[in-house]
Amino acid sequence: MVMLRLARFLFLFLVLVLTGCGEKQPVHYLATDITGVGYARDFRLTDQTGKVRTLADFRGKVVAIFFGYTHCPDVCPATLSDFAMAMKLLGKDAARVQVIFVTLDPERDTRAVLAHYVPAFNPGFLGMYADPAGTAALAKAFKVFYQKQPADGHGRYAVDHSAGTYIYDTQGRLRLYMAYGQGPPAIAHDISLLLKD
C-alpha cells in the first residue's frame, strides 16, 4: 500500500515537472518593462554620416536610443560609457545591438561634432540629429524633457534633459526603459534577454 502511494506520488510529481518544462518562464528585466506603450514608435533622423535613418533600418538588432548633448558634463558621457562597457560584456552579441545618441542641442551638435564625439565611446555607436523643430517634435513623441538654460557671458549654456534610455527588441518594438546609472552589467543582462526573445 505504501509502495503504491509512493508510486502515485512520483508519477504525479513527474507529470507536474514535465508539464512545467514546456512552459515559458517569465523574464525578469532589471530595467522597467514598458512593452505595449503607445509612444516612441519610430524616428526619422540624420546620422553622423549624413544618412537618413528610421527604426526599420535596424530590424534584427536590439536598439538603444538615448537623448542628450555633447557638451553634457556628466549624464551623457556616463551613459555612453556604460553602454560601451556593456557591449564588451556582450562579446560577439554586441554586433546585434545598435546604440543611438540623439542630440537635443542641434545648434552646437553638428554632424561633424557628432561624428567625432559618439564613435569615441564605441565605433559602432551612431550620433543622430534633426533641425530644432524636428528635435522638439521627436522629444515630444518620446516623452523626453529638455530645456536650454540661459547662456553665460561666454555664450556657453547647459541643456537640462531626461536621462533614461529606450530599448527596442529585434522586431522594432519598444520594450524597456533603462534608468540612468543602472550600470553596464544591468544593460548587458537585459539586452541579452531581448536577443534571446
Annotated binding-site members for Cu cation: 72, 76, 161
The CA-CA-CA angle for residues 21, 169, 72, to 5°, reads 135
Residue 195 CB contacts under 8 Å (≥ 6 apart), including other chains: 62, 93, 96, 97, 170
Letter for the amino acid at 176? Answer: L
Pairwise CA distance, residues 94 & 105, whole Å: 28
Beta bridge partners of 68: 103
**Residue 61 per-residue DSSP state:** S
**Residue 50 per-residue DSSP state:** S
Binding region:
72, 76, 161
In 3D space, the residue among 157, 53, 29 whose CA is nearest the CA of residue 105 turns out to be: 157
Phi and psi at 85, nearest 5°, equal -70, -40
Pairwise CA distance, residues 45 & 129, whole Å: 6
Letter for the amino acid at 36? Answer: G
Phi and psi at 161, nearest 5°, equal -160, 160
